[in-house]
Copies of this chain bind each other. A is one copy, B any other.
Amino acid sequence: MVELSTTKDGIPNQAEASDRVLQILSEAGRLFATKGYDGTSMRDIAVACGISKSLLYHHFSNKDEIYARVAVGSTLELYLFVRDRVPDGPPSQKIRAFMVATAEYFRRYRWAWIASTTAFWNDPDRHRQKERLTRRDRFENFLRGLIQEAIDAGEIRKVDVPMTGRLILSSLNWMHRWYNPNKSATPEQIADIFFDMVFNGLRSGDAAAPPPAEPPKSSRRKARQTSRS
């Protein structure tokens, strides 16, 4: 319960919220993530919390505000969260830290993450959408800056920076569609594996770099499915 919006750990949102409000945000986030915005009624949220529908309107002015607190409110500082976890060092390792930090954010605020990325990716032309895109741009431009750094430092090839950013973010943004918290690796470990693949490439060491010292826990199976992509 109440897994969103902890006030510790530098996530500054949802400050001063009562337990009941936190409960509502938690249940609403889970419902928005699993059933979508339109598919989740105010009654659903009320029943999940064991309260009356009217009480929701005592704490929030309308459904949109609940969604905003769940999605925008908790996605608020993804950029800050990640930026503070990217230490100084070689640019390529900063990219790796960027990916691992984003995965950590995903693991910790999973429902809010899913709700914000799936429920409203289009949207009834809201002004809030613009705000989200602004944050998204800030986040993405941060990554592009890191990529450019790595290019300037000669650590990575002169690839197309926006396209490289999209590849990296794709691997992270799609994770919620197949990640199962009960098995396989943690999101941080997955991000690490993806970084290794993208940075070092899949190509074998013939006439190139030798197979890296740490093969990322290569489970030698014959391509049976475990979970979908």
- Which residues of A come within 8 Å of B, CB atoms? 34-36, 38-39, 92, 118, 121-124, 133, 136-137, 140-141, 144-145, 147-148, 150, 154-167, 169-171, 173-175, 177-178, 190, 193-194, 197-209, 211-212, 215-229
8 A-B Cβ contacts within 8 A? A34-B122, A140-B225, A156-B203, A159-B216, A161-B223, A167-B198, A173-B174, A200-B201
Our pick among B118, B157, B219 for the contact of A121 (Cβ within 8 Å) is B118
- Residue in B closest to A138 when the chains form the complex, CB atoms: B225
Q: How far is the CA of A164 from the CA of B215 in the complex (A)?
A: 13
Q: How far is the CA of A228 from the CA of B154 in the complex (A)?
A: 26
- Residue in B closest to A206 when the chains form the complex, CB atoms: B154
The answer to whether B148 touches A216 (Cβ under 8 A) is no
Q: How far is the CA of A219 from the CA of B169 in the complex (A)?
A: 19
Known: A123-B39, A158-B218, A199-B203. A223 touches B170 (CB 8 A): no
Q: How far is the CA of A228 from the CA of B162 in the complex (A)?
A: 9
Q: Report A81 CB to chain B, min CB distance, Å.
A: 18
Q: How far is the CA of A66 from the CA of B122 in the complex (A)?
A: 21
Q: Report A150 CB to chain B, min CB distance, Å.
A: 8
CB neighbours of A155 from chain B (8 A): 203-204
The answer to whether B197 touches A167 (Cβ under 8 A) is yes
CB neighbours of A178 from chain B (8 A): 166
Known: A133-B228, A167-B194, A170-B170. A209 touches B209 (CB 8 A): yes
Q: Report A96 CB to chain B, min CB distance, Å.
A: 11
